[in-house]
Chains A and B, each alone.
Chain A
Amino acid sequence: MAEMKDVVLEYIIDEYVDEDDDLEVGVDSPLISSGIVDSFSMVSLKIFLEKKYDIKLPDDEATPDAFDTVTKIVELVKKHQG
């Protein structure tokens, strides 16, 4: 089974990066602070994570800082998976 970080990274590239954007995105690339994902469209990522991993991410934890890299996102999801 694919590792969570690979699944999340693949989703982010598919969801937020256009083919002509010419961007290299890795697990530790800043997403929000770099402008790849803005605070408005971040909700799509939250919906994906909640559906994919059957969890509920509270708004006060699904913050721009907590979503800023794939590594941080994986930490947050794992915490809520118990």
Chain B
Amino acid sequence: MAFTDKTRQLFAEEIAAIKEKGLFKEKRFICSPQGAAIRVEYPEGAAQEDVLNFCANNYLGLSSHPDVIAAAHEGLDSRGYGMSSVRFICGTQDIHRELQDKVSAFLGMEDTLLFPSCMDANGGVFEAILEPEDVIIADRLIHASLVDGIRLCAAEYDTFKHMNMKHLEKKLELHQDKRTRLIVTDGVFSMDGDLCPLDEMCALAEKYDAMVLVDESHASGFIGKTGRGTHEHFDVIDKVDLITTTFGKGLGGASGGCVSGKRELIELCRQKARPYLFSNSMAPPIVAASIKVIDLISASTERRDKLEANTKRFREGMEAAGLNIRPGETPIVPVMLYNAKLANDMSRDMYAEGIYVIGFFFPVVPAGQARIRVQLSAAHEDEHIDKCVAAFKKVGEKYGILGLDKKGIIDKYGM
């Protein structure tokens, strides 16, 4: 046996080091469908508890929507369980084409290509379209999957300060000698809930002859007045060249992702993107359910409107209660605590109050920026939101942080 005691010890020491640094991720089990109210076993082996979920990406509350479940059943019955193939061999059904066409129409793009996940879309898009004589200029806080995709690509890359358009302009000037320039950003940043100023970014892209790619995973379905995304919010639908997004968050929450954008760029992804060529097709039930999701949110803005109202209620409640939240308008609301232990302790106490939220700290967020990230959903009712705010107020009071600003919290707990 090659996995000797000595080898086992080597890996056990690595795990021990992760625990030592306080970075070990505990197992948590959800024993119910995903939703606003869930049943959780945590820690492992503990009695199940009914809690309110404020940490899912279930923005539109569609993860367990009856119409979406029915569409998945229908897809399973009519098109089967799996494709047993990558897309280009024998893994593309008529419903894959239908979903791609519907996504293109919804996002206002020329063409769309499905991937097994948005992580795969981001992992494959850059290498497929760019060459060593090109440059990628990326916001420093883009999602890890974009970072991985950029690193897999032969093009040079550079970075600019988070959402700092002056700094981006400096970098665009610096790289005018390249064949093409591709600016890369998230539409909504997952840890801060910031909205990228796409109007200013697209104006710079025009001025300096650059393309723009936006990861809309935390925006598709609810940002913008009809939920098309950040490009709709800033009225630049026709100025964005590429969008990557997921069906694993607001758009149903199962899995699957896509690249959507200019026809030639999508065709290059179809020909060359490795996760498209070498990983299985999205499963038929998920494709059928995703089509239903696009139909539902194309027909009505009711769910994104409710999410917007829920976000407003929560943000106003938290500010009135004296919690230090990062200002913004998206359903991602970071409750800033700066100190990692404080974030951990408070999230544990919130769970005891029946609210499921998680603390985030370095290296997931920059050092000294620890927080509890709250995510709102259209599935939340007013009483859920009020209970969450009341729990934060009670726990915040216990730790003496109500009414304190950044300096006040750091003076009390350190970074």
| Chain A residues within 8 Å of B, Cβ to Cβ | 15, 18, 34-35, 38, 40-41, 43-44, 47
Contacts and interface: CB of A to CB of B under 8 A. Distances in A.
A47 B363 contact: no
Contacts of B157: 43
B161 A18 contact: yes
Interface of B: 138, 140, 147, 156-159, 161, 171, 174, 362-363, 366-368
Contacts of B159: 40-41, 43-44
A55 B156 CA distance: 16
B158 A43 contact: yes
Nearest to B367: A35
A38 B140 contact: yes
A35 B362 contact: yes
Nearest 8 Cβ contacts at the A-B interface: A35-B367, A41-B159, A41-B140, A40-B147, A44-B159, A44-B158, A35-B366, A47-B158
A43 B140 CA distance: 11
A40 B366 contact: no
Contacts of B363: 35
Pick the most buried of B138, B140, B171: most chain A CB atoms within 10 A of its CB: B140
Nearest to A16: B161
A40 B157 CA distance: 10
B330 to A, nearest CB: 21
B339 to A, nearest CB: 15
Contacts of B171: 44
Contacts of B366: 35, 38
Contacts of A40: 138, 140, 147, 159
Contacts of B362: 35
A54 B229 CA distance: 43
Nearest to A38: B140
14 contacts: A15-B161, A34-B367, A35-B362, A38-B140, A38-B366, A40-B138, A40-B147, A41-B140, A43-B157, A43-B158, A43-B159, A44-B158, A44-B159, A47-B174
B222 to A, nearest CB: 28
Nearest to A17: B161
B140 to A, nearest CB: 5
A33 to B, nearest CB: 10
A34 B147 CA distance: 20
Nearest to A46: B158
A15 B171 CA distance: 11
Nearest to B148: A40
Nearest to B160: A44
Contacts of A41: 140, 159
Nearest to B171: A44
Contacts of A34: 367
Contacts of B158: 43-44, 47
A41 B164 CA distance: 14
Nearest to A42: B159
A44 B168 CA distance: 12
Given A40-B147, A44-B171, 14 more contacts: A15-B161, A18-B161, A34-B367, A35-B367, A35-B368, A38-B140, A38-B366, A40-B140, A41-B140, A43-B158, A43-B159, A44-B158, A47-B156, A47-B174
Contacts of A35: 362-363, 366-368
